[in-house]
């Protein structure tokens, strides 16, 4: 039986094959993000931003690596996470302070 195009892969995620060079701490963070997503949502991994970016519905969801994690946050609750130490808003081509 042929799989329809919309059915996606047999696994809940796909790895694009792009590998970033990360240290042990970054690899642990990436593994934790991957473990949190597997079985909950279909995603794809891509090497971006000096780490691994987890794409959901072809949009960046989480990027981890080089001692940092970037997360897409619902605009309706955006202000709440900013109260946490070390959390800041990032915009394309720079940092918004």
Residues 6+ apart with CB under 8 A from 8: 42
Count of domains observed in the chain:
1
- What range defines the domain where residue 38 resides? 15-96
Residue at 79 is within a domain: yes
Residue at 2 is within a domain: no
The H or E element that residue 84 is part of is none
pLDDT of residue 24: 74
pLDDT of residue 5: 42
pLDDT of residue 90: 82
Low-confidence ranges of the chain (pLDDT < 50): 1-11
Residue at 19 is within a domain: yes
pLDDT of residue 15: 62
pLDDT of residue 7: 42
pTM for this prediction: 0.69
pLDDT of residue 3: 39
Handedness of CA 27, 31, 37, 8 (dihedral sign): positive
Residue at 83 is within a domain: yes
Structure tokens at 15: 């790895």
Q: Which residue has the tokens 């240290």?
A: 23
């Amino acid at each position: 039986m042929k799989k329809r195009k919309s059915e996606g892969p047999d696994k809940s995620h796909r790895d694009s094959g792009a590998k970033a060079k990360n240290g042990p701490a970054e690899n642990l963070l990436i593994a934790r993000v991957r473990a949190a997503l597997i079985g909950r949502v279909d995603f794809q991994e891509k090497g971006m931003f000096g780490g691994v970016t987890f794409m959901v519905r072809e949009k960046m969801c989480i990027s981890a690596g080089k001692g940092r994690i970037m997360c897409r946050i619902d605009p309706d609750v955006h202000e709440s996470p900013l109260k946490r130490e070390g959390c800041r808003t990032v915009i394309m081509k720079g940092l918004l302070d």
